[in-house]
Each structure stands twice: as structure tokens, then as C-alpha cells.
Amino acid sequence: MTDGADRTPSDDPDVCVVGAGPAGALVAHDLAKRGHEVVVLEAGPRFDERDRLERMERSIRPAYGPQEVWDMGGERDAYTNGGDRDYPLNAARVKGVGGSTLHWQGMVFRFHEDDFRANSAYGVGSDWPISYEDLRPYYARAEEELGVSGADDNPFAPPRERPFPMPAFPPSYGDSIVAEACEELGIATHSAPNARNSEAYDGRGACVGYGTCKPVCPSGAKYDASVHVAKAESEGARVIDRAPVQRLHHDREGERITAAEYVTPDGAIHEQRARQFVLAAGGVEIPRLLLLSRSERHPDGLANSSGLVGRYFMDHLFAGAGGVLDRQTRQNHVGFVTTESHQFYDEADSEVGPYKLEVLNYAGPSPVELACGGDDWGDDLLERLRGAYGNHVALGGLVGQRPRKDNRITLDATRTDDLGNPVPEIHWSVGDWAERTIRAANETQLAILDELGASDVGTVGPADTGPAYHHMGTTRMGTEPAESVVDPYCRTHDHPNLTVASSSVFVTSGALNPTLTIAALALKAADHLDEDL
């Protein structure tokens, strides 16, 4: 069944962008407003904003799983695991206009200076071919584009050139309790910048406190990439949804990309030609597409003369600790992090990596979750709410992962998706460096909980850690074609008209949420593409 939309190729556009998440949307908008003709191919559908309240309700009802909120799963999204640990890929992916920003938490940080020089600073991985200073003006532009609420109160953050676009959200009541314990222990706390409106900004209203930011913001106060998709379209860009790209084609010499082959819901196969191509489909689907595009000239896949496409897959890992206090914490009054500590971030070395601490003011069940999760009614429900709600406290930590060549994305020829293509196979393990860092974060968290006098304390540590779903490293950046996939301009070494705008170009992971760095790199890549065009 089709919806009547025109999904035939555009005639001779300047740029074809694959993926309508944050990177693709920013590139498309930036180039379209400069007068270039842009077409965007997105594998998933357009989601109607009017459905967001219903999706929010779906997210809190126990009858629905997290993948059902944004219609993920099935053969379209099939994958396999081949590593030491199973990687739950679909637990935090969204295929559709807006991408995974539709259900992200919205935390945005600039990487620290040493994140770009990890090998020089503490002997891990490789240095990036660009520095913080190279990306600094693009970080400022990214904060303006996304709309970031923050304060210049983090003594450990890299230098800034101007204030955040909006003031920071104030700390929650639970934050203030944890901050007192941190002060006693000599641990500095500070605000956390968020890509959500603390006041009206860019035509969107201020946050109204639904508290369901992850997986859905019904009000639109939290940024998602559909904002820039709409802006790109207003500047003349064309966005084709439900058009999964199957492979890329190249010229006779095997150097320039000539077309992106995609399939529409009616089963028709089309080829979108363009002068320049931008891959912005994320750290799993980008290497998969390059590997699926193998040819006689490139039997190992496109952009893969180094053999590194898909390799150095990284994620951030979670370290956590929580407990119960003998006083109210007003848990879940805020659905996102407002207080952090980066005090331990720059103490990284070859033994223990960087990590940041987060005060999880949404720890513990909310009244809605408690009410929906049981069979009690009336006075019995009220009694259960009084006993189970209001005194939970928890701390989270984000831990970096060492880039390891054997952590990688490959193709699994034994299983195919709904269109008959081999699915991605994920080879993923945590590694000793990350495990030691998680233990260090847990020790700090337990010290804070002990200072608070918490009971019923539990931890999430190395044995049961999970990913933050930040896919990085599978088309790494570098100056040497034999040791990287893209150059410092995010162009592939092998194909001069193929650019990658994604966290897949990251050389190291740091331990900070990557979306602001993705946005900054996308804006930088758009500048270079404009010069080429």
C-alpha cells in the first residue's frame, strides 16, 4: 500500500544526503540555504507530530515495549550479534525523519581538549587529525542551531567564546540533596547543558515538564532533527521518506559516486544521481551501506581500501549506583539530568579512562509507572504509592571505551532484512580499560551514597553494564588513507565526492554524549562541501 507521495528521483541535485537525523538535517539545511539543490533520502517514515501524545502514553503503559514507541523492530531492522556481549541495537534506534533524536535524552556537551588528543594525553588510541580549537566555532554554531540551555559554571569544561543561547535549567530538589553530599566530599557539581528550551526559542515553547523526554517529548521543547528537516524544506530541499538506500554506485574508474539506489514502498527501485553524496545514517548503517556497495572495482566495499570500514566500533558505557534515603527526594519531578560533575574527567590515564557523573533525578518509579504497573485500586494503591515513591536517589556515570579494531560492524550473509540484504552483525566487547573505569566511577558513586546515608544500595558495574547507544568509530577520521576511512574534512579518502557526517568518524569516544560533536562536524563538513560545489 502506498500513500501517494512522489518518491521518484530529483533531477540533477547538487547534493544527495542519506539519512534525516541530526547530521543529515543540519547538512541539508546549511547547504540549501546557501542556494544548493539538496535531496535527502530517509529509510523510515515521517512521524506526525500530532501523534506524540499518543506515543507518550504508549511509552508509560506496560503493554508496550520501548521499540513499539517509535515502531522499531521486525525484519526491516534485523541484526545479529557476533561478539563477546550481545548488543541490543534496536533498543535505542529510530528509523524515520528526525532519527534517534526523536527519543534521545537531549544532553549536549563539547568534547574536552584531551578527547581529541587521547594518545598524546594518556596513551590510548590515536589522536584526531583535528583539535578542539578547529571545532570550537562549529560547537558555538551547533549550540545556536539546536538551542542549548546551559550555564558557564563547569570549571572543567573547555573554553567558550559566548554564553549559551538559553539559561540553564535549575537543579532539581534531588540534585540539591546530592550536591550537599558532594560538597562534603570535595566533589564539585555544576549544571548540565540540554538541547531543550528553558524558555521560548526558535519558534518552540519552553519545557512544560512532561517528564517523558526519553522516549518522547510531546511539547516539542526538546530539540529533534525534524526541526532542521522542516527548515531545509523551507529553503527548497526535498526530503523523500520511506526510501531505504540499498547501495551506492560509482563511475567506471571507481572513484566518484554517481548514484544512490533506493527502494520505495511500492517496490520500485530508483537511482538518485548527484554531484556530491553525504552519508548521515549513523555508525551502524553507514558501514553496512558501504560494505553492501561492493563492486568489481571495490570487492571489499566502498571507501574501504584501508580495510577499516566497520572497525573500531565504540560506545559509551553506563556505571550506576542508587539507594533509598530516609527523606523525600521528589524523584521524577524532572525527566532529564540537570546536575553533573566532570571533576574526574581529565584525570584519565592509560589505566583508567575519562568518566563523568550524573545525578539521576528521575531515579525510581514515577507515580504513573507505579499506578500502571499493579492491580491495586483506591486506598490500597495510595498506600503502595506512599511506600514506594519519593525517596529514591541514584547516580549515573558515562564511561569511554578504548577504540579496538576487533569491535566492528560486518555483514551477516546468513540472515537478510525485508529487502533481501545481509543484516549488520555487531562484534562488541567492553575491554579491561573500560571495566576499570566503571569500577572507578562506582567507587565515587558509592562514596556519595554513603555520605548521604543511603540504604538498599545497588550498583550497575562492569559485569552488568550496558551501552548508551552512542555508535562511534566505524569510519574513522585520519590523514593517512591506510589508517583511516575519511580525511579531516570528513571526505572519504577513496571517493572525493563522498562525505560522512556522523559519529562514525570519531577517532576516540571520550565519555560525553556525542550529539553536539556530531552537529559541529556536520556543520564543518557542510562548509567544505559548499567550497567544493
Assign 3-class secondary structure to 102-160.
HCCCCECCCCCHHHHCHHHHHCCCCCCCCCHHHHHHHHHHHHHHHCCEECCCCCCCCCC
pLDDT one digit per residue (tens) for the chain, 533 residues: 568 899 999 999 999 999 999 999 999 999 999 999 999 999 999 999 999 988 888 888 777 777 888 899 999 999 999 988 999 999 889 999 999 999 999 999 999 999 999 999 999 999 999 999 999 999 999 999 999 999 999 999 999 999 999 999 999 999 999 999 999 999 999 999 999 999 999 999 999 988 888 899 999 999 999 999 999 999 999 999 999 999 999 999 999 999 999 999 999 999 999 999 999 999 999 999 999 999 999 999 999 999 999 999 999 999 999 999 999 888 877 889 999 999 999 899 999 999 999 999 887 777 766 676 667 777 777 777 776 778 899 999 999 999 999 999 999 999 999 999 999 999 999 999 999 999 999 999 999 999 999 999 999 999 999 999 999 999 999 999 999 999 999 999 999 999 999 999 999 999 999 999 999 999 999 999 999 99
384 Rama class: left (phi>0) / alpha (psi -120 to 50) / beta = alpha
pLDDT of amino acid 212 = 86
Q: Helix, strand, coil shares of the chain as percentages rounded to 5?
A: 30, 20, 50
Q: How many Å apart are CA 407 and CA 289, to the nearest integer?
A: 18
22: cell is 541530526
pLDDT of amino acid 373 = 66
pLDDT of amino acid 83 = 84
The 3-state DSSP class for residue 289 equals helix
For residue 413, give the H/E element and its range. Answer: strand 408-416
pLDDT of amino acid 378 = 78
Residues present in the chain in total: 533
Kindly write down the DSSP assignment for every residue of 172-216, as one continuous string.
PHHHHHHHHHHHHTT---EE--BSB-SS-BTTBPPP---S-TTT-
Which residues 6+ apart lie within 8 Å of 447 measured at CB?
185
Active site residues: 470
Q: How many Å apart are CA 502 and CA 388, to the nearest integer?
A: 42
Q: What is the dihedral of CA 88, 90, 93, 96, to 10 degrees?
A: 170
Asked if residues 315 and 478 have their Cβ atoms less than 8 Å apart, the reply is no
Asked if residues 312 and 443 have their Cβ atoms less than 8 Å apart, the reply is no
- pTM reported for the whole predicted model: 0.96
pLDDT of amino acid 1 = 53
If we measure between CA atoms, which residue out of 247, 316, 318, 314 comes closest to residue 286?
Answer: 247
pLDDT of amino acid 365 = 72
Written as one letter, the residue type at 291 is L
Asked if residues 14 and 213 have their Cβ atoms less than 8 Å apart, the reply is no
Q: How many Å apart are CA 265 and CA 516, to the nearest integer?
A: 33
Which residues 6+ apart lie within 8 Å of 129 measured at CB?
477, 478, 479, 487, 488, 507
